Structure 1
């Protein structure tokens, strides 16, 4: 149930992602045959099939040359909007319930309630016991979650199609009968959980307070966007159970909700179920639209603070319009030109010039407001002062005014919409999210065509106009974040004071917000959970194989749901081919292959790919160097030509080498400030040792990367970039003959074979030992218990161990998570798991926990493992595991990426195509005695603790443990 918080290190992608969300679907005719279109057009129910009290509001059918998703929209008498989209391609359904309430609906001084309810809605309702919502969905073979943002909250499940009625029962019970189940105890547990979430995702994360600070700088204190979605802790501390119940009663009625269902279902039956479970719920208070009051800043507002970061960061944000405003598309194009990718002006002036290691621009929009933002992290080699960075950004805006808009700028945006639209069709959940979003924000689910048209109609003059209207000469919020002790690096002295957010709402405001508590009754026995029909039959993707003379193994499947092709070329070895003293060489080599060829510069490659709507990325992690390609079928030839060029003609220029190497080092330095990164590095070092490649991060260390030369890169490429150990996975709307013709050039690719080192010396695992890494002022501790374990197998010891561990630490309702998160409130989430590859594996357990409860959390995990090891699983847990894992198979092959993962698994581990059948037999027939024997054996083996945290708070707690505490020096 996490809330998404954007970190500065990924801001360059916000605008691209936003376009994907804006146009999450395309003309269905692109993805469907004419017969499919006819079938979908005939899904409208006869009037006699529509239940009494339910009205058909709109029918949208798939038609030639129309951008839409076919659906039927209904409304219940209580105001609930229902949108049904049928897709019979996979035996699953996706259910989404979206409430038009986010943090913007909260009262001043009572922030965080919408997000708080995202948690409370999973804690059981009148007819669903505590912790049972997650358990019921998981046991049904489904996936679920909830998200909250400023404008809406949604809850969703994807389940096998035979579980649909059960999902409607669950969702209706928490919509209509949640309040009866809210107790002071549940309230306090979830208050602690939210605190842990903030600690993990905001306070303990570098630059984590950026977004909430910028919003305080831009919006007046009373503006609903001035406070963060997760809320202020002072507000949450003041909140009461009564406050929470009133908030729910005000906003969570059926008249403020949209239920959207997509997938393989019978529409008449589904509508009858919806009417049964939701139809008798009472409507809530009338919900009015919120005023969209423009925000402008007369002058620049400067503010700064220190954070546990390695590099300063400058963030400049201009208020602009609001979501769906007529100028939003032109502003998005402007953001792309200024700071999205290698062809942007900020990349040229800041990153390529060497002034910054990262820079970008974005224009994220919300219902009431949008912001045009620029960010940059300076390059230490050219000085860390943010004053210089601000000047370069200002100069870039002047340059844009002089440069203007060219034809490629508009073309790339329009092609981007086309491709992101098509990729949005690859899952039912994507189509459902599209429908729910437009219905909630606009009251018009059928808005895809109009939305894409808005962007296609943007002109050069539009972009220049919005630049002058909203950016040029306007005031902005300018935030400097600097490391402690380096306050002189700020762009300019503060001229703005953050508002005091510690005060609660006034007495008058409290009285004005009073809402009678929701009360519903039912005409049938809601305590009876619906039964489910037999599980749907699963059809495995049909596949074909080919082996080229040069060693490339090809495995592929045709997928015609969207006109796309995805390729994954993997070269065995990856980072295991590095020497210890040059760790990071594989990653650095792969990264440099994205930086241009002897034919095209990086900027030219990026421009060509953007015009094609294609993506090519080369990287190295774990055991593979990989080349990932995504393309529209119609542009596959041109995309493959660029792929071959990047693979076979990398430029490896000294300038690119120096820039990428420096960026990698800066990223490693920043990782030394992040608790989770440090814990991951410590886990590797302690488990595998620092004298072999397994024990070091995939990207290397500062010392090893610093030692890498350009000649090392060229030699690594020459030796290991070979087809000898390569495999190719292809999923897309293309048949075998056509594909083989298009990838014929790969058959002529030549290279020598090479060896992968297989003998490693690992340190002895010593029980009763704890390794500690001090991270001063860390708000949380990261604790990990670990040991080496068996390598991967599909049906042997590893697979059976994962079955044993499922009730212990893999499910939300696992023993470890329920203990530390739900019972104790120590963490946002805790788990245990077996991970494995070809060579070896690992067992780990742990969490990110409140630092004052480091000792308590360690003891609780140890107690859970001991109990499980000594007494094993219960019969109920075995049943839960069997149902959850076996029924989840219905969700396994929906999207091209899922199919690709299945095929890659077959190739990577030389598995038969039907290996899942044997897995199903094992799940069905493994006995509780066998599982308990595995638990007794695996959990009795020596393990070691790794703890990363604030030494002043944590060290005294560690002394109380009966363990040898070792101050761990991480390899740097």
Structure 2
């Protein structure tokens, strides 16, 4: 199990330097320590300072790319909340983007975007962070912005902003919790696992009734209590110097007064006296069983062996749960994990059984898996896999300045020491078999758990066991008032803080140099060196994919099924053996399929590249195509297709594609296929598809990493064994003809939100033509956070958590799409606002200010485009796929800087045909249809597969503005989100 924000440390110990005492007294800002690289160590050099007001400043100097990442982490999350006031930490994160004394409403986003940067904020149980990545010349602007909202926020917090953001948070809850299958699992489980009043007993987003009863003064008090500089860490990494950062930190943050004292929290682990059975009904196809055992907090000595136990039981193809449940075709998914946070840890097992299997059966099988572990214990192989995978995950986490900066911020916040890396590495390397058996006996064997059943609506009798637990509020004592007597004291400056800092000279952007080659069997190769981390990444793109299924649409889904089979056994090794070898190497090989290509992704540490390529040869050229694997994967595919009916977003995307492409176009069929088409596919069909279409003659290869052309090409001689064959790519079929704008409605009964898609088939990809120029136009309409669409629907109206639009093109064609998930009761008004903004852009065009904004924002963003191996690979893949000139980026920049308002307005008139667009909604028909029918469009009802339910007589097309209603690394690393947070609801991003 890989946990994020650790790093492999190779070689000698870190060099830690301390200033003499007299030097510390000479400056009001104290240098605490300096950590430098010694020899070839894989470390994050930094300097740490503390300002007189308590602000900790950590600086990582890295001049490899002309960018800077700024992170401000406040040691406050939902764990600092109290009963009846849940959700404040996350709510306040939203408010921090709503302007301050010297920064106007929505200006924070606009300023960072205009500077070519990107930004966000996240909240979890234990901390809230705000961050931006910008060109290095914009460092002072970033610090000015962060300091202004730390020291000058509250007078800008108005009741109107409060209400809008409260509405936005409600939309976020609807989108990520209430309207999502299994979205309430974490909330229900937390309430049962922790005692009433424990700050982990509610989720980060909180309860809506708490937010409804709160007022703007509650929120202001939360800020005054927790947002002082002494409870924050400013971490800056990138093309900067410590002296530069400290000087600016002193200027902008130094005068901000200290806040109240904040002490670290420590609470006893929850104690369960018996198994607690709880359940709820949800709009799901598969029931779910989750068993959760309380464990230990972050950095506890038992954390690492529990991580390894989770991996042995339920992670990867060598785990017990995979073998006994997934491979045995008893469960669609089965796994275990062990997320830890500041106050507690949770060891969880989750199982989604196939139809015909009961949750009671799944609980029995889970307990049998524990018993099997008792007998088999920890193998040498499992121990080696765990340690190697951990090392690789940490190396990969150092691939970007933002990654390294976030690691430093995380360690400083939770340990007080950014240089905690060697300690963390040591405990992962030191874990033993005996440690794992000890923690199993201490925390899992025979211990009570919270056992949650999620069952389809109307099937309450299918729970694992009848509920036996209800939250008990007796005995709860409210904490003492932490908010009495708080006063807002602003900093007193000796400079004019209202003046936005001037940016330095624009950094010089270096497009990655690259080399090309072509193998004898037709593979086109393009590569570049990236030696910041000792890894190599390779991407094979084999043209065809889903598009090839046009030859026989009755077998739709065969490309995806073939890719899944290639992820299984080879002639020489079982899938489990390959998985084990890859994990020991710290490598990955994965096959995928999309609309127009199949892909093979290979990633390895440079030192293990040869061994990894040997396994790639096995999988690519010698697949076993085992019947048992095929039967299992086909069954999974059929269940996944059936499960789509529970997912509004998937329904919306599938139906929208069908409207765009039309009935007789393979692109109107989901890439996974249909129930009928997948049911008809045989193993012989898969073998033939592979033999006919998996060919070097239609393959491009991108290589990025710590290697050179003359070193890597000799290692690829095994590809010469791959015999070329002619592959005929079907010609494009004419897309659906759209005579006029209509509304298409798919019923999702009692849905809390409506998914909206609006658009039409626009134009194909062109790096320097009208496609690229249309993206410039759309940046203002729906391509940025400060776009007209998002500012209207999210920030002004509070209808949605996020809305936007985009052009998406390939060689042949591509759609223009506007999208949002909106509250059900504003579905009709949201359609009106979408169409109003699109029509306004078409008829009125853009302003001079917007033209200057888009030129600055898109132009300066180049500084962020080529930092990581992934970004370099995307750049190279574009060149080789579309046969672009080496200097196409230069040409794009010339187009951007020279484009006129008249050109953009002409593009809007040409490519925003409001009179011929599909307007598609997936939502609760009973509540939203009456409002939609008043908008003057034909309303056509479709089923979840996009088939016609009824046909409405044509009505005059009238645009009616309806009144407003009253009322957005390695596989394992991804399973553990940033700062060891749970993936999903426990970590909340601002947008």
Cα displacement (A) at 1:512? 5.0
What is the Cα-based RMSD across aligned positions, in Å?
A: 2.0
Q: Report the equivalent of 2:465.
A: 492
Alignment map for 1:775-814 (pairs within 5 Å): 775-814=748-787
Question: Structure 1 residues 510 and 198 mapped into 2: Cα distance closer, same or farther (>3 Å)?
Answer: farther
1:958 aligns with 2:932: yes
Distance 1:372 1:182 in 2: 40
1:229 aligns with 2:229: no
Q: Is the 8 A contact 2:522 2:696 kept in 1?
A: yes
Which residue, 322, 339, 353 being the options, matches 2:314? 339
Distance 1:299 1:358 in 2: 27
Distance 2:472 2:287 in 1: 23
Which residue, 483, 486, 499 being the options, matches 1:513? 483
Question: Structure 1 residues 739 and 720 mapped into 2: Cα distance closer, same or farther (>3 Å)?
Answer: same
Q: Report the equivalent of 1:354.
A: 329
Q: Is the 8 A contact 1:80 1:259 kept in 2?
A: yes
Question: Structure 1 residues 681 and 241 mapped into 2: Cα distance closer, same or farther (>3 Å)?
Answer: same
Q: How many equivalent residue pairs?
A: 942
Question: Structure 1 residues 105 and 409 mapped into 2: Cα distance closer, same or farther (>3 Å)?
Answer: same
Q: Is the 8 A contact 1:802 1:834 kept in 2?
A: yes
Find the residue that maps to 1:828 and give its secondary structure. Answer: strand
Distance 1:929 1:700 in 2: 44
Cα displacement (A) at 1:768? 3.0
Cα displacement (A) at 1:970? 4.2
Which residue, 460, 485, 498 being the options, matches 1:527? 498
Alignment map for 1:379-418 (pairs within 5 Å): 379-380=354-355, 383-418=356-391
Q: Report the equivalent of 2:630.
A: 657
Q: Is the 8 A contact 2:747 2:922 kept in 1?
A: yes
Question: Structure 1 residues 423 and 44 mapped into 2: Cα distance closer, same or farther (>3 Å)?
Answer: farther
Which residue, 237, 242, 247 being the options, matches 1:262? 237
Alignment map for 1:100-119 (pairs within 5 Å): 100-119=75-94
Cα displacement (A) at 1:345? 0.4
Find the residue that maps to 1:672 and give its secondary structure. Answer: helix
Distance 2:84 2:944 in 1: 44
Cα displacement (A) at 1:408? 1.2
Which residue, 188, 196, 217 being the options, matches 2:163? 188
Which residue, 422, 433, 437 being the options, matches 1:449? 422
Q: Report the equivalent of 2:115.
A: 140
Distance 1:45 1:632 in 2: 41
Moved more, 190-199 or 762-771: 762-771
Alignment map for 1:125-204 (pairs within 5 Å): 125-204=100-179
Q: Report the equivalent of 2:223.
A: 248
Find the residue that maps to 2:646 and give its secondary structure. Answer: coil
Distance 2:422 2:18 in 1: 21
Which residue, 505, 511, 514 being the options, matches 1:540? 511
Question: Structure 1 residues 511 and 430 mapped into 2: Cα distance closer, same or farther (>3 Å)?
Answer: closer
C-alpha deviations, 1:101-126, integer Å up to 9, x for none? 00000121100000001111111111
Question: Structure 1 residues 464 and 403 mapped into 2: Cα distance closer, same or farther (>3 Å)?
Answer: same
1:438 aligns with 2:411: yes
Find the residue that maps to 1:743 and give its secondary structure. Answer: helix
1:300 aligns with 2:283: no
Q: Report the equivalent of 1:622.
A: 595
Distance 2:545 2:21 in 1: 59
Moved more, 406-415 or 343-352: 406-415
Distance 2:91 2:593 in 1: 39
Q: Report the equivalent of 2:863.
A: 890
Question: Structure 1 residues 551 and 515 mapped into 2: Cα distance closer, same or farther (>3 Å)?
Answer: farther
Question: Structure 1 residues 500 and 877 mapped into 2: Cα distance closer, same or farther (>3 Å)?
Answer: farther
Q: Report the equivalent of 2:670.
A: 697
Alignment map for 1:715-864 (pairs within 5 Å): 715-864=688-837
Q: Report the equivalent of 2:449.
A: 476
Distance 2:841 2:115 in 1: 24
C-alpha deviations, 1:208-267, integer Å up to 9, x for none? 000111111100111010000001001010111100000000000000000000101132
Q: Report the equivalent of 2:303.
A: 328
Q: Is the 8 A contact 1:119 1:190 kept in 2?
A: yes
Q: Is the 8 A contact 1:622 1:698 kept in 2?
A: yes
Which residue, 882, 889, 909 being the options, matches 2:882? 909
Cα displacement (A) at 1:511? 4.8
Distance 2:682 2:811 in 1: 30
Q: Structure 1: any 5+ residue segments left out of the alignment?
A: 1-14, 31-36
Find the residue that maps to 2:419 and give its secondary structure. Answer: coil
- The two structures have a TM-score, normalised by structure 2, of 0.93
Q: Report the equivalent of 1:569.
A: 540
Q: Is the 8 A contact 2:69 2:237 kept in 1?
A: yes
Question: Structure 1 residues 51 and 566 mapped into 2: Cα distance closer, same or farther (>3 Å)?
Answer: farther
Q: Is the 8 A contact 2:5 2:397 kept in 1?
A: no
Cα displacement (A) at 1:522? 2.7
Q: Is the 8 A contact 1:249 1:515 kept in 2?
A: no
Q: Is the 8 A contact 1:596 1:651 kept in 2?
A: yes
Distance 1:402 1:944 in 2: 60
C-alpha deviations, 1:405-442, integer Å up to 9, x for none? 11111111111121111111110111111110010001
Cα displacement (A) at 1:559? 1.0
Q: Is the 8 A contact 2:747 2:943 kept in 1?
A: no
Distance 1:612 1:419 in 2: 9
Distance 1:49 1:55 in 2: 5
C-alpha deviations, 1:126-154, integer Å up to 9, x for none? 10000000000000000100000000000
Q: Report the equivalent of 2:613.
A: 640
Distance 1:135 1:425 in 2: 29
Distance 1:559 1:124 in 2: 39
C-alpha deviations, 1:260-307, integer Å up to 9, x for none? 001011322221111000001000000011123111212110011110
Distance 2:23 2:426 in 1: 37
Q: Is the 8 A contact 2:17 2:34 kept in 1?
A: no
Q: Is the 8 A contact 2:11 2:40 kept in 1?
A: no
Distance 2:43 2:691 in 1: 49
Q: Report the equivalent of 2:555.
A: 582
Cα displacement (A) at 1:514? 2.3
Cα displacement (A) at 1:595? 1.3
Q: Is the 8 A contact 1:322 1:328 kept in 2?
A: yes
Distance 2:711 2:527 in 1: 12
Moved more, 277-286 or 263-272: 263-272
Q: Is the 8 A contact 2:99 2:149 kept in 1?
A: yes
1:23 aligns with 2:16: no
Distance 2:25 2:504 in 1: 23
Find the residue that maps to 2:487 and give its secondary structure. Answer: coil
Find the residue that maps to 2:756 and give its secondary structure. Answer: strand
Find the residue that maps to 2:164 and give its secondary structure. Answer: helix
Q: Report the equivalent of 1:5.
A: none
Distance 1:700 1:596 in 2: 23
- The two structures have a TM-score, normalised by structure 1, of 0.95
Cα displacement (A) at 1:691? 1.8
Q: Is the 8 A contact 1:575 1:586 kept in 2?
A: yes
C-alpha deviations, 1:768-808, integer Å up to 9, x for none? 31111101111100111110011000000100000011111
Q: Is the 8 A contact 2:17 2:35 kept in 1?
A: no
Which residue, 655, 673, 688 being the options, matches 2:646? 673
Distance 1:292 1:896 in 2: 42
Cα displacement (A) at 1:44? 9.6
Cα displacement (A) at 1:846? 2.1
Which residue, 63, 82, 89 being the options, matches 2:57? 82
Distance 1:943 1:292 in 2: 56
